[in-house]
Amino acid sequence: MNKSIPPESIFKSYDIRGIYPSEINEQFTTPITRAIYKLISDQLSTTKPLTIAVGRDMRLSSPAIFKSVSNTLVELGAKVIDLGIVSTPTFYFAVFKLGYDGGIQITASHNPKQYNGLKIVRRSPTGLIKIGKNTGMSEIKHGSREGVDMMPREKGSIIKKEAVLEEEVQNALRIVGYPEIKKFKLVADAANALGGLYIDALFKAIPGELIKMNFELDGNFPAHQADPLQPENIKDLQKRVLEEKADLGLAPDGDGDRMFFIDEKGQIVNPSLITALVAKELLSEKKGEVILFDIRYILTPKKIVEEYQGKYEITKVGHAFITEKMAETGGIFAGESSAHYYFRETGNAESQLPVILMVLKVMTREGKSLSEIINSLKRSHESGETNFRVKNALEIIEALKEKYSDAEISTLDGVAVSYKDWRFSLRTSNTEPLLRLNIEHIGKEDLEDKKQELLAEIEKHAVFEDLPK
């Protein structure tokens, strides 16, 4: 195989991602960058040189990939805006608010240290367009593997952009209305990754005591993998919140575009409840706005949106799909069950700073703990996700559609089956060879019964590759 042709497997539904250097490296990112540049030029219908922002994470391979990407862009005539080491939300903010034609973020998000990748966006009149399955990823894959015909241009340039993070903090304060915030005690575990950058910057602008865990940037991730979806990665944070008698804890992922909240009791707050909290705040001031949430858990946010006279849209799982749906609907906010949160005011892209500020604003105003506030919003109970490594995922989905055919059925993303007081979502992962099950019920006691029922039904039809995880 030609050593300069990138493997097909690295082109995902949301981004480009693989193991360095076997699946993604400096040689592969040269044709990939050329294909990205051509796609953005074509989508913007322009032959003029583009202005492209490039950010990167702290992985050991990121400097080499940055050099390859930026040098290729310069050769194509682009003005490259070097954002330095920034979180993905800061990268999105820069591209959107500063009006660049597009951007490339060098990161593999929450993946282990041997991975790296690229997230790609371009501007549009309605906000950012994330390049994914529906918005150009196949063209990039084809162009980077087959080559693209690009006219030679006068060489471009590289300009360093400073102080983007401070601008992002001020923008978040503006979105939330420059709220009054009490001096709370917070513990944050940045996992030696990028979320610590914006958390630190925020607490230089607002009152509060910030206790830092693993804030030193380190691409080896010496403390633990930067994936708060895995319970073992946040155990130390939960323990520290209790030890410090803190008001809450924060757990961002590797590139900072996901944020998990820990309450004062050391318990993880379900992201659907954070979605409900933000929806309530926004709809209290702007009735009739559209709130979006993904298909996995909908009962609580749906009820809150209805109670506060808003409209809602249910989306497929995945940040590129959600940003696309926000642009289509004009939604003010979207929350995802994996703790991604999106605002119209940030170009329909993830931004965790306004979410943190809204949580602190509500705690200040109501004079209550986070657990008390969250319990007042809860309208349903959630199972947590069960994953199955199976060979016949689609066959299982079809079997459950038939079994529960008397329910309201959605095939938006896998299958979602809804009854009056309970529902479940069963879908294949966009990033891993897994079948994912999520269940929610109005009654806590009945949830476990339904879970056991569904596990038995799935196992009856499954051909396992391995034991269920």
Amino acid letter, residue 460: K
Structure tokens at 230: 């895995």
Secondary element (H or E) of residue 369: none
Say if residues 426 and 377 touch (Cβ distance below 8 Å): no
Q: Which residue has the tokens 């696309």?
A: 324
**Taking the CA of residue 315 as centre, how many other CA atoms within 13 Å lie in the half-sphere pointing to its CB?**
27
Burial 447-459 (b: 16+ CB within 10 A, else e): beebbeebbebbe
Look-up: residue for tokens 């209790």?
242
* The residue type at 118: L
Closest listed residue to residue 150, CA positions, set 319, 13, 245, 30: 30
Residues 6+ apart with CB under 8 A from 377: 273, 276, 277, 280, 300, 304
Alpha helices (H) in 20-136, listed in sequence order: 26-43, 62-75, 88-97
272 is catalytic: no
Residue from 41, 62, 68, 109 carrying the catalytic annotation: 109
Rounded to whole angstroms, the Cα distance separating 390 from 393 reads 6
Q: How far is 353 from 372, CA to CA, in rounded Å?
A: 22
Instruction: Please state, in angstroms and rounded to a whole number, the distance separating the CA atoms of residues 125 and 132.
Output: 18
Indicate the residue type of 192. Answer: N
| Kind and range of the H or E run holding 255 | none
Other beta carbons within 10 angstroms of residue 306's beta carbon come to 13
- b/e burial code for range 226-255 (CB count within 10 A of at least 16 → b): bbbeeeebbeebbebbeeeebbbbbbbbbb
CA distance 158 to 80: 5
Helices (H), 184-270: 195-202, 235-244
Point out the residues that are catalytic.
Answer: 109
